[in-house]
Structure 1
Amino acid sequence: METAYDWITVFIFAGLVTKFLSESVKPEGSDDSIWQYLPPAIGCGLANWLGNDGWDLAAIFVIALTLGYALYVFGPFRRSPPKH
């Protein structure tokens, strides 16, 4: 862990893992699918790789997309399915 990209992406990934684990132990189940965690996990790896190779703007853009996706899908901006 040498660069800021290492720390930032590991921090985001740790948040994803924590969210996944907390959802998986709920007795009533979760609306989250395991596949929803794949795009931000790939985004963390891609952003880290880009940042460590000197593509700073691209890495920052991918980090922003990753956080935006995670907030939209898992966070307070999540749309709940209609109840019938």
Structure 2
Amino acid sequence: METVYDWITVAIFGGLVVLFLHRSVQPEEPQDTILHYLPPAVGCAVANYVGNEGYGLYSFLIVLVVVAYVVLVLKPFGIKFWR
């Protein structure tokens, strides 16, 4: 945990873990599977690696894509942008 990329990607990954665990203990059947969490988890790892290699802009763009995926696909707060 030395760079800002480490902190940002670990924070996002931690949020993914909490979201997955929260949804897995709800009484109703989950609408997502563990495979839905794979793209943002891999994206966090790639963004961290790219950022640590000195490509901050690319890391930032990957983090934006990861956050967009989480919001649009996983819908952490029940956010609905369209039907």
* 2:9 maps to amino acid: T
Say whether the 8 Å CA contact 1:13–1:41 is kept in structure 2: yes
1:77 offset after TM fit, Å? 3.5
Deviation at 1:60, TM superposition (A): 0.4
% identity of equivalent residues:
46
For 1:24, the aligned partner's letter is: S
Match of 1:10?
A: 10
Gaps of 5+ in 2: none
TM-score norm. by structure 1 comes to 0.89
Pick one of 77, 80, 83 that aligns with 2:80.
77
Tell me by how many angstroms 1:72 deviates: 0.4
Over 4 Å off, 4+ runs:
none
For these two proteins, the number of residue pairs brought into alignment is: 80
Alpha carbons of structure 1 residues 79 and 30: separation in structure 2 relative to 1, 3 Å: farther
User: What do you get for the CA RMSD once the two structures are aligned?
Assistant: 1.4
Amino acid paired to 1:31: Q
**Cα shift readout 1:43-65 (whole Å, capped 9, x = no counterpart):** 00000000000011110000000
The corresponding residue for 1:31 is 31
Which amino acid is 1:7 matched to? W
Does the CA contact (< 8 Å) of 1:71 and 1:78 recur in 2? no
Deviations 1:3-59 (A, max 9, x none): 000000000000000000000001112101111000000000000000000011110
Looking at structure 2, the residues matched to 23 and 77 of structure 1 have their Cα atoms a distance apart, in angstroms, of 17
